[in-house]
Amino acid sequence: MARTLRPPTAESKVSNVTNSNPNPNPNVFVPSYTTAVTERQKKLKESSRGLTSSSSLHNASNSNNGLIGGTFDKVQMTKLLIHTLHELGYENSSICLQEESGGIQVESTVVQKIFKYIRDGSFFDITLELLSKLPLKNGNLNLESLNCHTLLDQSEENVNNKNTQNHSATLDHTISTMTIQLQLFESLFEKIAGMLRRPGVLEQLDTFRQILEIMVLVNKQVFLELVFQSSDPTGAVFYLRAFLRKFIHLWDSVLLLQNDIGLNLETDFTPEQLLREMSSVLTSPLNGNDNNTPFHTIWHDSLKNSREFLIDQISRYIDPNDLVPKGRLVALLKQAIKYQRSKDLFSVLNGNDNNQQEEQDEEQDTDMEKTPKIFNLLQDNTTDFNEINFIEEKTLVQNTDEIWYLQFSPDGKYLASASADSTTDRKILIYDVENDFQVYKILAGNKQCVLYLSFSPDSKYLVSCPFNESANIYDIHIKGEPSNINPEIGDSGIIAEIIQPIDSFHIPNILNQEPPMSPSESSESSLENTTSGNATVMLSRTLPLIGSRTRSNRTHNNSSNNPSSSTTHNVTRDPYVEIGKGNSPRTWCCDWFHTADHYGKFAVGSPDREVVVYDINMRQIIYRMASSIAFDSETNEINTHSTTSSSVFTFMDQFPRIHDLKISYDDKYMILMTHQGNIDVYDISSFPTNETVTKLAESNLSTMTSEEAHQRGHVLLDELILPKIQQLTINKNMTCISLPDIRNTRLDYDMDDEMNDDVAEGSEEGLANLLIVNLPFNEIQLWDYKENLLIQKYMGQRQEQFIIRSCFGYDNKLVASGSEDGKVYIWDRVKGNILGVLSGHNKERLSSFGNNVSRASHSSHSNNTSNDKKFGMNCNTVVWNPRDKSLFASGGDDGYIKIWRVVRD
């Protein structure tokens, strides 16, 4: 006995539908909802014709060239209205509008046929010939242009033979039909593969792939109906082996061929994934959840829902002009609302707040119905400024001196702080964000003030850059010596541990001879300070000196607003860090490589004209960037490897002093902030991976003596050249640079998400190019470092003498910065307007040491000032949590760390 997929019903046959309203053109398929018209519907249509006839509509269309408002196509607008009325359930109105418009269809005839066959379960009606006529986004499959007349005749013969079988919806009939279709697809693929050199065949190959994917989805549906609807596991196993698997293998062959010819395509699903899912349906219990494959994502609860899901999948392949996309009007309305709100000065925070609140509500009660935000379609939608607020949640008081640096770990679970406390080497505290910001670890081993901190991408390691020449590396999760810095908070209390560095290194000073002097230098060799070109430089028979950042002299040159000024500036430095043949360059800044291929590497920048790359796996410096500059002893010139300017420079243009550096999230670019008023961008995409470095190290061990290794300074990549691809000419002194956090930002765009992205500013590529620069002239600049474009300026904060650090925040929609008036300033990144000014840091301290205090208890401690140290008012740094977009922190000269949150009133 034949196994039935779905018993045919009278209601499901096209003939029964059309008999109630005969179709004057039998060659044109008409969907059921446009033909099943009652007498009442006919009267409604007749009355509507009395108001506006279809001829008058066409005449009006001709009078204005078929445009509405001079912009929108009238036919497309009518399709959209018909489709939307149908989606809203207004069948009568959609029918009337279709009649009145002269029969405009929202679906082409071929699309209607295929969807009707799917809804009726007539999968044997879906043939290669029919699919070849399907209007895909890149056109249909032209069998005649491929000289496939034989295949076309065979397909027509198959249709004729099938029609003599009275549309019997049985598995045996489907098997016989799909047997022929599989042979046709395999033959057509062989024919196309042999014609790839002909013009236009590559495009036809891609069209064939899309048609094949649709046929795979159809066969998948047949298989699922055998399993879930017919409960026929034997037939399902046979169909999987005989047809579905073979169609999937053919599809995989097409993808491999496209990959071989350089067409790397991304698909919504892969052959391996699909075959694995279908196999799990057979091997797992029907009500189980083995292999992490919930069946409700494969079989959508009912036969009707499953077939509608198949239609939705196929709809993605079809040209929108032949099939209005599902929910298209709603998608357009969402875009319009986003555009309106993007023009509102205070709308920057509205993008994801509703979603975030819904996620919080879902965690509290997943069964509670959420009230969606309703937008008024009859008026413009703007934002009430009073909805936006920044509140202080907590004050961290464990530090006893100025906070110079803060950084959240990439996973958002930890906050690291560096203070200027000269009484201890335990200047770095790690706070546990998820445990009420209790101190998690105390990092010892930093005798000098720490200028910079940097977490590894996995949040395991932390690098500190003290003012002297050594950089320290910590594993923040190792065990250490217990301390009592945290208060006792019952069972939830954390015992903070004091840990030492697991590794420490300095940059070797391998200059064995002094660099040659230019003629201008030799004439003024007795002077330590002089000027040349567009920047003030400092000459020395050793490497140039930079002023130290102590409480008394951590200022920047402020007597001139432009480094091109000829005014000289005296700077000081402690004698123990004097650079010469016996001392090492200092480490002032660092950043990690972010991708898996470079795990364990980070770059360190020095104001003593050096950048090195350190590998924690090999525990050594593997690259020195300044070594790409080679002195020519005969010509007294310096040869550099640069694509932005001449390859020959004078001594005045040697490798610059580095005050800050960043590595892009994709490890393609290294950005260096120099003391000379420029930002240099280097292409590091060719930097050797860990595997390559390991092989090179093994090779060097067998070919290089210890003396040769010492002469090279233990640098493996001594022949690597990194090209400089861009130089931003700021022409002003700079204090720091910051990049957006791309790793945790949504990079996709889905119109089904409720206001989840900023349409105008949501480009991944554009966001990844951004860079903010702090200038000691009460100004912050936003640059596109790839295009060398100044995009925006942010004003209002005070920065004249000290290093003030800023950051991107709130999914990179905001820019936040400290200020020398002790306040935190927050701007809209795009428009540049100030959204908030927060009074955070002043000269008063609640206590010199003690427990963290909340905002509510802040006033009760106001008189507890046991520390006699006189504090400044600077807010030195602001950082944003990369995982919790509403959470940020600030640190100031008062020694406090303030924890802030973005809220909606």
Residue 484 pLDDT > 50: yes
- What the block records as the tokens of 565 is 């000024």
Q: Which residues pair with 887 in a beta bridge?
A: 901
Whether residue 78 lies inside any domain: the answer is no
pLDDT > 70 in the chain, percent: 65
pLDDT category at 703 given cuts 50, 70, 90 is: low
Residue 564 pLDDT > 70: no
Q: Residue 195: exposed, middle, or buried by beta-carbon count in 10 A (0-12, 13-18, 19+)?
A: middle
Q: What DSSP assignment string belongs to 831-877?
A: T--EEEEEE---S--S-SS---EESTTTGGGTT-----PPP---EEE
How many C-beta atoms surround the C-beta of residue 705 within 10 A? 8
For the segment 795-809, the average pLDDT, to the nearest whole number, is: 92
Q: What is the pLDDT of residue 837?
A: 93
Is 542 in contact with 528 (CB distance < 8 Å)? no
Whether residue 891 lies inside any domain: the answer is yes
Is 804 in contact with 874 (CB distance < 8 Å)? yes
H or E element, residue 623: strand 620-624
309/428 same-domain check:
no
Alpha-carbon torsion (112, 162, 142, 137), positive or negative: positive
Q: Residue 733: exposed, middle, or buried by beta-carbon count in 10 A (0-12, 13-18, 19+)?
A: buried
For the segment 219-247, the average pLDDT, to the nearest whole number, is: 90
Is 462 in contact with 508 (CB distance < 8 Å)? no
153/232 same-domain check:
yes
Whether residue 46 lies inside any domain: the answer is no
- The CA distance from 781 to 266, in Å, is 37
Q: What is the pLDDT of residue 171?
A: 77
678-683 β-sheet, strand order: 658-663, 669-674, 678-683, 724-729
H or E element, residue 146: none
Q: What is the pLDDT of residue 534?
A: 33
Whether residue 757 lies inside any domain: the answer is no
- The CA distance from 752 to 796, in Å, is 39
**Number of folded domains in the chain?**
2
318/408 same-domain check:
no
Q: What is the pLDDT of residue 645?
A: 42
Q: What is the pLDDT of residue 355?
A: 43
Whether residue 362 lies inside any domain: the answer is no
For the segment 175-181, the average pLDDT, to the nearest whole number, is: 89
The most confident of the ranges 15-19, 339-343, 747-751 is 339-343
For the segment 325-352, the average pLDDT, to the nearest whole number, is: 75
- The CA distance from 826 to 806, in Å, is 10
- 301 in the Ramachandran plot: left (φ > 0), alpha (ψ -120 to 50) or beta? left
Residue 70 pLDDT > 70: yes
602/691 same-domain check:
yes
Which of 70-74, 510-514, 892-896 shows the lowest per-residue confidence on average (mean pLDDT)? 510-514
Alpha carbon 559 to its chain centroid, in Å, reads 42
449/317 same-domain check:
no
Which of 378-387, 584-593, 769-778, 889-898 shows the lowest per-residue confidence on average (mean pLDDT)? 378-387
For the segment 763-787, the average pLDDT, to the nearest whole number, is: 87
Q: What is the pLDDT of residue 467?
A: 81
Whether residue 144 lies inside any domain: the answer is yes
Q: What is the dihedral of CA 60, 65, 68, 74, to 10 degrees?
A: 80
301/413 same-domain check:
no
pLDDT category at 889 given cuts 50, 70, 90 is: very high
Q: What is the pLDDT of residue 596?
A: 93
Q: What is the pLDDT of residue 286?
A: 52
Is 257 in contact with 193 (CB distance < 8 Å)? yes
The most confident of the ranges 51-60, 110-119, 645-654, 866-875 is 110-119
pLDDT category at 56 given cuts 50, 70, 90 is: very low
Q: What is the pLDDT of residue 578?
A: 37
319/396 same-domain check:
no
The most confident of the ranges 316-330, 631-645, 816-830 is 816-830
How many C-beta atoms surround the C-beta of residue 636 within 10 A? 15
Considering all CA atoms of the chain, what is the largest pairwise distance in Å, rounded to the nearest integer? 107
- The CA distance from 242 to 175, in Å, is 9
H or E element, residue 395: strand 388-396
Residue 116 pLDDT > 60: yes
Q: What is the pLDDT of residue 474?
A: 96
Which amino acid, residue 109?
Answer: T
**Domain coverage including residue 208:** 108-161+169-283+294-323
We report the CATH number of the domain holding residue 898 as: 2.130.10.10
276/401 same-domain check:
no
Q: What is the pLDDT of residue 348?
A: 60
298/177 same-domain check:
yes
Which of 141-150, 416-425, 706-715 shows the lowest per-residue confidence on average (mean pLDDT)? 706-715
Q: Which residues pair with 648 in a beta bridge?
A: 639
pLDDT digits (tens, 9 = 90+) for 824-845: 999 999 889 999 999 988 766 6
Place of tokens 């046709």: 184
Q: Residue 380: exposed, middle, or buried by beta-carbon count in 10 A (0-12, 13-18, 19+)?
A: exposed
Q: What is the pLDDT of residue 732?
A: 85
Residue 820 pLDDT > 70: yes
- The CA distance from 624 to 852, in Å, is 43
226/140 same-domain check:
yes
Residue 61 pLDDT > 90: no
pLDDT digits (tens, 9 = 90+) for 244-299: 999 999 999 999 898 888 776 767 778 888 888 888 888 765 544 444 445 667 88
Whether residue 215 lies inside any domain: the answer is yes
Which amino acid, residue 245?
Answer: R
Which of 380-384, 570-574, 877-881 shows the lowest per-residue confidence on average (mean pLDDT)? 570-574
Whether residue 274 lies inside any domain: the answer is yes
pLDDT > 90 in the chain, percent: 36
Residue 508 pLDDT > 80: yes
Residue 241 pLDDT > 50: yes
For the segment 181-206, the average pLDDT, to the nearest whole number, is: 88
For the segment 104-133, the average pLDDT, to the nearest whole number, is: 89
Residue 629 pLDDT > 60: no
pLDDT digits (tens, 9 = 90+) for 724-738: 999 999 988 899 999
Q: Among 315, 131, 98, which residue's Cα sits nearest to residue 215?
A: 131
pLDDT digits (tens, 9 = 90+) for 744-758: 544 333 333 433 333
The most confident of the ranges 151-165, 638-652, 690-704, 854-868 is 690-704
- The CA distance from 540 to 203, in Å, is 65
Q: What is the pLDDT of residue 385?
A: 54
- What the block records as the tokens of 254 is 């097409």
For the segment 854-870, the average pLDDT, to the nearest whole number, is: 45
610/717 same-domain check:
yes
Task: HSE, CB side, 13 Å, CA atoms: give it for residue 767.
Answer: 25
Q: What is the pLDDT of residue 782?
A: 96
245/129 same-domain check:
yes
Compute the mean pLDDT over every residue in the chain, rounded to the nearest whole number. Answer: 74
Q: What is the pLDDT of residue 393?
A: 93
